Amino acid sequence: MMKRLSALWLLMICMTGYAQQKHIVPGSVWHDTAGNPVNAHGGGILYYNGVYYWYGEIKKGVTWKVPNSNWENYRVNAGGVSCYTSRDLLHWTYKGVALPSVTTDSTADLHISKVIERPKVIYNKKTGKFVMWMHIDSQDYSYARSGVAVSDKPEGPFRYIGSVRPNGNMARDMTIFQDDNGKAYHFYSSEENQTMHICELTDDYLSHTTNDHRILIQQAREAPAVCKYNNRFYLFSSGCTGWSPNAASYATADNIMGQWTEHGNPCKGTDADSTYHAQSTYVLPVQGKKDTYIFMADRWNKLNLEASRYIWLPLAFDQEGKPAILWKDKWEVKN
Ligand code: DGJ
């Protein structure tokens, strides 16, 4: 009886805990509204009709190292892409698998043996469709392609269309940036991860135009995350060290297809040199709050990828437009 009562007590404490969660606590286990850890890695966020949609890689089950790889090629079976919704950026409700992986056809891009990483979704006003782009790869990362899927609803299910090497180029880590004028751009690590590319997407966002521009040439940057502040474009990225963290850096441009200039690390203080043990994935403009941005990153646990955590921190700009990402043990998004 006593045992049952304490179990009930514990359950109540946990449930109240979820309901009353007031802060973002970077690096802690982030529970969804059902009490399960949020499983949405390498993610990105879409804001649509008053709701935030968080899409990310489902990392579930055993982590193993791909045999005979001379780098830290740890992986789990590709689990597809999850979707969570929130109105306050704190309480997230699981909406299910937006794009499932495939268990049967081992040649399929979405087969569990493949790599499905860094999904990003944008909404196309002209077509009324939600478009998801993601990094698709083989286990040894030699496939180096970008996959695209489409849906009529933000939570999916998304229909996978296929994958490409944009304009014939290798494409690994990526993000999508949608500008205020509706134009969308694909940022992707290319040329064996040595050089970043930006390619303008077609009006329906489903393919690449030939307006494809090389930036950060031979600077070996990945994990791109982009935002626009005061009419200037900011690109945050990491170095290429597998799942291990390294120092972030940011670049700016006044014209997205123009000259990009590197400026160095936006993180400050203890652990700034490892991006607080994390790697960028997205910059989220908070809706209705001018100049309020969240820097989203993944704290990978390479030996147990499912136990990787999220580092969300405020991204602030000073009067000269210089960004700073400072560590916070816990903080509140003021909506
Ligand atoms: C770094 C990338 O940013 C991740 O998305 C993932 O591809 C790992 N490398 C794999 O080692």
CATH H-level, domain 25-326: superfamily: Glycosyl hydrolase domain; family 43 (2.115.10.20)
Strands lying side by side in the sheet with 293-299: 267-268, 323-326, 309-317, 293-299, 279-285
Q: Per residue in 285-305, is it b (16+ CB within 10 Å) or e — as a string?
A: bbeeeeebbbbbbbbbbeeeb
- Residue spans of the domains in the chain: they are 25-326
Q: What is the pLDDT of residue 17?
A: 44
Average pLDDT on 160-168 reads 98
Which candidate, 158, 150, 148, 157, places its Cα nearest to that of 129? Answer: 150
Average pLDDT over residues 217-237: 98
Residue 92 carries which side chain, given as an amino acid letter? W
**d(C-alpha 189, C-alpha 219), whole Å:** 10
Evaluate the omega torsion of the peptide bond into residue 166 and state whether it is cis, within 30 degrees of 0. no
The pLDDT of residue 2: 52
Distance 66 CA to ligand 1 centre (A): 14
Distant-in-sequence, close-in-space partners of 150: CB < 8 Å, separation ≥ 6: 129, 130, 131, 132, 158, 159, 161, 206
Report CA(242)–ligand 1 centroid distance (Å): 5
Instruction: Check residue 21 and give its pLDDT.
Output: 75
Nearest CA to ligand 1 atom 10: 242
Query: Which of 58, 173, 281, 298 has the most ligand 1 atoms within 8 A of CB, as the residue to mutate?
Result: 173
Ligand 1 atom closest to the CA of 302, numbered from 1: 11
Position 22 confidence tier, pLDDT thresholds 50, 70, 90: confident
Cα 302 to averaged position of ligand 1 atoms, centre (Å)? 10
Given a cut of 70, whether residue 335 has pLDDT beyond it is no
Mean predicted confidence (pLDDT) in 163-189: 98
13 pLDDT higher than 50: no
CA of 259 from ligand 1 middle (Å) equals 26
Q: Cα dihedral angle (194, 192, 42, 231), rounded to 10 degrees?
A: 40
> What band does 229 get if pLDDT is binned at 50, 70 and 90?
very high
- pLDDT one-digit tens code per residue, 289-310: 999 999 999 999 999 999 999 9
Residue 16 has pLDDT above 50, yes or no: no
31 contacts 37 by C-beta, under 8 angstroms: yes
Distance (Å, whole) CA 298 – CA 222: 13
CA of 172 to the centre of ligand 1 (A): 9
Residue-level pLDDT at 334:
77
Of 243, 275, 305, the one to substitute when testing ligand 1's pocket (max ligand atoms within 8 A of C-beta) is 243
Q: What is the mean pLDDT of the segment spanning 215-239?
A: 98
For residues 39-51, average pLDDT: 98
